[in-house]
Amino acid sequence: AVERTLSIVKPDAVAKNAIGDIYSRFEKAGLKIVAAKMLRLSREQAEGFYAEHKGRPFFPALVDFMTSGPVTVQVLEGEGAILKNRELMGATNPKEAEPGTIRADFAESIDANAVHGSDSEQSAVREIGFFFAASEICERA
């Protein structure tokens, strides 16, 4: 089925000037960018976006990192987009990421791991709605 998923290029990958390389991987894999913006997350935004991780030991470091510099957030659309994006990203921990994945190529650590992608249809709906109004998502042929 054609799905939409929420993707973030995290502060480490933005700082490496890797936005274009990462967008190119999405496009070459047949995913279409149907919404996109750059912003610097506030602490409130980062805590709200990652609310499910509140209380985990890595939560404070995650919020610090995600607010450390600008990110890009984008909605990717395509056949099986949620899983396809996760395959492109590779494992959360770059030490476990398959060669050729975004995290194998750009991530430094499990915290500075270059990208985020929704992990289910339910989280995709929530995460897309967190950053984008329906009117900001474009219909593409």
Asked if residue 101 belongs to a known ligand binding site, the reply is no
Residue 41 DSSP code: P
Q: How far, in Å, CA of 18 to CA of 2, rounded?
A: 27
Is 25 a known ligand-binding residue?
no
8 touches 71 (CB < 8 A): yes
86 assigned binding-site residue? yes
Longest dimension (CA), the chain: 44
**Active-site hit among 11, 72, 116, 132:** 116
Active site residue 116: yes
Q: Is 85 annotated as a binding residue?
A: no
Question: For residues 68 and 92, which CB has a smaller minimum distance to ligand CMP in the complex?
Answer: 92
Nearer to ligand CMP, 91 or 138 (CB): 91
As measured in angstroms, the least distance from the Cβ of 141 to ligand CMP is 30
Q: Which is nearer to ligand CMP, 31 or 113 (CB)?
A: 113
Which residues lie near ligand CMP (CB under 6 A)? 50, 53, 58, 62, 92, 110-111, 113, 116
Contact 9, 38 (CB under 8 A): no
What 3-state class would DSSP assign to 79? strand
- What is the helix, strand, coil percentage profile of the chain, to 5? 45, 20, 35
Binding site per annotation, positions for ATP: 10, 58, 86, 92, 103, 113
Q: Which residues are catalytic?
A: 116
